[in-house]
Structure 1
Amino acid sequence: MKKLITAILVVIFLSVSFVGCKTSTTTTTQTGQSVMDKLAEAAKGEGGVINSYGMPDVWANYGEIYGQFEKLYGIKHQDIDMGSSVVYSRMKEENASKNDVADLKPSYAMKLAQEGYTSDYKVSVWDKIPEGQKGVAPNGSVWQAAYKGTLGFIVNTNIVKKVPHTWAELNDPQYKGLVSYLDPRATGTGVNTVEAVSYAMSGDPYNYQAGIDFLVKLHKNGIIASVDPKVDVSKFQRGEVAILINFDYNLLLWRDTLGVPAEVVIPTDGTVAVGGGVIMAKNAPHPNTAKLFLEFLFSDEGQKLFAKAYVTPIRPDIQIPPEIAAKFPPKEQYSKVKFIDYQKDAEISQALQNAWAQAVGAK
């Protein structure tokens, strides 16, 4: 009899436990939904607009991401395109009160958080963002990366007959006046370009002098056509430049959409991978709208919209569709890629910018 009673009690216990587990899962789902619902309701009184810095339509599929956000919530997107260092300076000057969100290098995002210019809002999927791609400053301000990419170049194969596959190969008279990269003083991508070249030349991305020395050679030999303060694909489309340096997600999308016969290259002598920092301003003019957008961006749907356009989602549980993954450069080109340490990047960025400007004679 005791054995029978014991067995019955075990069955009851297991049943209750199973129901409890199901209830917990359901509650989590409902809570996740209610976060979006509550924020969407609160955002209705904020004017139906979101202001961003450094999030143009042509970058990281933001055109489609913000387009879908508008379809869902009726909120229009207004962006002022600028590089990471400019975003950092401007948000400090404005006391983080003019923009709602911004895209910038994680090292700059970290600095803004440490100095109290970012919100303390954590997205509901915070735990799904990998360590090293998010942070909380002592003052409670947070930063996070929303996606990641690898630095390489796109080559116009109508103009360039011998496609270079390393940084070192760019120092060749046949590429004279054909190469363009972004200004390290104005953009995080520019700083990362110097770090990527430094890694290829010395094995250390933070030994920035090695990268600068090589870039100086390219400048002196007339290889460099322009150094731009922000992303500009018009010169590439017109054939004024034929080799454009940027991240693989942008390069692959440009290959597909610019109408220029092109090949995307990940340099095999070494390059860097970097996350894309996305932060909410401390004194955002539309705070609930900003929170709603962050929730959307880090949701399954938002992360998949990144993946749809070759942008690698920061959440490891989100997979790039096989048909998209098949269009990336061969895996062997990614064999010598180093992920940037954001703290080290932050420590050297200013010195790198100063040294680069002096070395190339930038005004």
Structure 2
Amino acid sequence: MATIPRRARLVAGIALAASAALALTSCAADSSAGTNSDGGGSSGDAATATSLADFASLSDLEAAAKEEGALNVIALPRDWANYGEILDLFAERYPEITINEASPDVSSAEEIQAAETNQGLDTAPDVFDLGLAVALENTDVFAPYKVESFDEIPDALKEPSGLFVGDYGGYMSIGYDSSKFDEPTSLDDLMGADFKGAVAINGDPTQAGAAFGAVGLAAVQSGGDLDDFQPGIDFFGELQQAGNFLKVDVTPATVTSGETPVVFDWDYLNAAAGADNENWQVVVLDGVGYASYYNQAINKDAPNPAAARLWQEFLYSDDVQNLWLKGGARPARMEAMTETGTIDADLAAALPEVPAETVVPTEEQSAAAGTLLGEKWAAAVQ
């Protein structure tokens, strides 16, 4: 199989109900972490730690991570969901820990391959950032860990033992150059002559998560549902026949240059892609919304197990949840932080408006849709 870039990683979602802020019910989860007799701190203890209690305190975890002195991350583009600022904040807060940023544009599957290839080496990734489909297929690679705020993460976004946990998500949206186009309010608008050769998706939907989501959105907006992606395939087939479908993979550079002036993508990526285009606008269509989350996981063979766990605690802190929000993504703890007043209200208010009804395909629905796309997509848009 050809390498799929990070921007096009396959995303299978977790079923959830959403409000305008993608609010989710937060439910308490079982906390069954053990405690090391010596309070943790050594690499051996860190590798088996399942919660902060195994280190006695956050300061003990920080000390153990500083002793390791490194954190290996993979597949974290700096322009993806504000990861650049997040990585820089970790480096500023923990200057004793060197962040090794490997292969920012590889796929979820390639993250797992990197762990297998580098197993036992100090170059192996400590942590992963994954689409759900890959996470579900590779739970034997992960170490269970419940961050201190685990109970504030909705049950629908986490594996109960903490093997993998949803971190940030968003809605399938349409980005467009407002100097050239009126705001599209429906899929039908994109069929007009004004959109000739202008409408792009992020990759091939048989391989790419954002493109898969675009077809999913088209399906649920065209009379289909998560069990029937055919209307979505039909929509893009008609878009191709109208001469409006642009077969160019989307990047911030293609948006800035105007090469891809209308783009289906996750709302936070569309927002980031328009950073250098003052006319770039993002809209989430009324009707049924289509959403998805990425997931965090720790490599069970992490060469820096304490740093891996410190990274997780860092990511689920109020500060970093708000940094994902700053990047236009909806953090997993958004509802809980809204209730406690720790959410950045201005950033939350700046999120694109979204429909009250939201759907996300289950693993089974994603698999069935993938099979259908494999059979029908190429012929529909040739």
What residue number does 2:263 align with?
244
Q: Deviations over 1:10-64 (max 9, x none)?
A: xxxxxxxxxxxxxxxxxxxx969954323322223444242212x2111111111
User: Compared with structure 1, are the counterparts of its residues 227 and 52 closer, same or farther at alpha carbon in structure 2 (3 Å cutoff)?
Assistant: same
2:65 counterpart letter in structure 1 = A
1:189 corresponds to: 210
**Is 2:101 aligned against 1:78?**
yes
Instruction: Write the deviation string for residues 304-357 of structure 1: whole angstroms up to 9, x where unpaired.
Output: 22223332221121234332233333x4xx225423143334433541452355
Aligned equivalent of 1:62, options 48, 72, 83: 83
Residue 195 of structure 2: aligned partner = 175
2:147 is the alignment partner of 1:123:
yes
CA–CA separation in structure 2 for the residues paired with 1:64 and 1:78: 13
CA distance, structure 1, for counterparts of residue 377 and residue 329 of structure 2: 30
- Residues 206-355 of structure 1: pairs in structure 2 closer than 5 A: 206-228=227-249, 232-255=251-274, 257-315=275-333, 316-319=335-338, 320-329=343-352, 331=353, 334-335=354-355, 337-348=357-368, 350-355=370-375
Distance 2:370 2:114 in 1: 18
Which sits farther off after the overlay, 202-211 or 292-301? 202-211
Q: Is the 8 A contact 1:179 1:225 kept in 2?
A: yes
Once the two structures are superposed, what CA deviation does each residue of 1:289-311 show, in whole Å capped at 9, x if it has no partner? 22111110011222122223332
Deviation >6 Å, runs of 4+: none
Task: State the alpha-carbon separation in 1 of the partners of residues 376 and 347 from structure 2.
Answer: 36
TM-score, scaled to structure 1: 0.78
Cα deviation for residue 204 of structure 1 reads 0.7
TM-score w.r.t. structure 2 length? 0.74
1:77 Cα offset (Å): 4.5
Aligned equivalents of 1:93 and 1:327: distance in 2?
A: 37
Which stretch of structure 1 is more off in the superposition, 199-208 or 88-97?
A: 88-97
Distance 1:185 1:292, change over 3 A: farther
Q: Distance in 1 between matches of 2:80 and 2:114?
A: 25
What's 2:64 paired with? Answer: 42
Counterpart CA distance in 1 for 2:217 and 2:154 is 23
Please state if 1:112 is matched with 2:138: yes
Q: Which runs of 5+ in 1 are unaligned?
A: 1-29
In structure 2, the CA distance between the partners of 1:271 and 1:221, relative to structure 1 (3 Å rule), is: same
Q: Distance in 1 between matches of 2:377 and 2:302?
A: 33
Q: Is the 8 A contact 1:197 1:270 kept in 2?
A: no
Using the TM superposition, name which of 57-66 and 187-196 deviates more.
Answer: 187-196
Which structure is richer in relative contact order (CA contacts within 8 A, separation 6 or more)?
2
Identity, in percent, stands at 25
| Larger proportion of helix | 1
1:119 shift after superposition: 2.0
